[in-house]
Amino acid sequence: MKKFKTLSAVILVLVLFFGVTPSPAETGAEEDWKFGAEIYLFGAGIGGQSGSGSNLDINFDDILSDLEMAFMGAVSARKGKWSLMTDLIYLDAKDYKTISGVNTSVELSSWIITPSVGYTVLESEQGRLNILLGARYLYLDTDLSVGADQFADSGSNWDGIIGIQGQVNLNKNWYLPYYLDIGTGDSEMTWQANAGVGYRFSKCDVVVSYRYLDWEFDDGDAIDNMNISGPMIGVKFFF
């Protein structure tokens, strides 16, 4: 809970500070909706710990070689200062290895869906800052084997989240996107951070970043905590 309070305090301070910062004139009510879509490759590794204390470690090479299916993308809609966003990750992966003479295997299927509503509190030539309210849905189906020990569990979590999202413009083409959220609900705590660099082309943006997602689950679950992290490269289209 210490990490939860620290991250919550950081987000709250930023929201309060930028929320009272003078912003440009209100966008006209007649502005049309603007839509966006992103497809990305998330070079994610999965880490964590089972309820019995065994480590969960699946690197990206293992996921890629034993990948059954995956989809990663996001959609957004924006009108004036308001925006709607949904991010989706689906992974179905397996990993088998021997660690210190002990045979281990992990089979994992997961949906991660993060819908949110954003409101722009700061926008200028230098960049943009949105505050976010939303939720994160996690469905996890796991089958862990460590030597003679077997663990299997499946279920879903809904967590409410609050966060910030935006970008810092370096020039006409280059910018630095960032994202941070934290929440709780069915999980004791979940948080996510993402930062990188983007380049604007005439028809799309290309973004390279590093992303980290983390969950702390309740005691007694097959998995005590889990994180998904790694580099990302994505293409954003606007229409």
Domain boundaries, the chain: 2-19+54-234
Q: What percent of the chain has pLDDT over 90?
A: 49
Q: CA nearest 110: which of 155, 75, 62, 74? A: 155
Q: CA nearest 90: which of 108, 65, 106? A: 108
Task: Kindly indicate the confidence band of residue 43, based on its pLDDT and cuts at 50, 70 and 90.
Answer: confident
Q: CA nearest 160: which of 131, 134, 191? A: 134
Give the least confident one: 60-64, 125-129, 158-162: 60-64
> Residue 228 has what pLDDT?
87
Q: Which ranges constitute the DSSP H helices of the chain?
A: 2-19, 60-65
> Residue 10 has what pLDDT?
55
Q: For residue 238, give every residue at least 6 positions away whose Cβ sits within 8 Å of its Cβ, in sequence order, or none.
A: 34, 35, 36, 204, 205
127: alpha, beta or left, given left = phi > 0 and alpha = psi -120 to 50?
left
For residues 30-43, give the mean pLDDT.
87
Task: Kindly indicate the confidence band of residue 25, based on its pLDDT and cuts at 50, 70 and 90.
Answer: very low
Q: CA nearest 36: which of 81, 74, 90, 82? A: 74
Q: Which ranges constitute the DSSP H helices of 148-210?
A: none
Residue 9 has pLDDT above 80, yes or no: no
Residue 125 has pLDDT above 50, yes or no: yes
Residue 24 has pLDDT above 50, yes or no: no
> Residue 2 has what pLDDT?
54
Domain 2-19+54-234: homologous superfamily in CATH: OMPT-like (2.40.128.90)
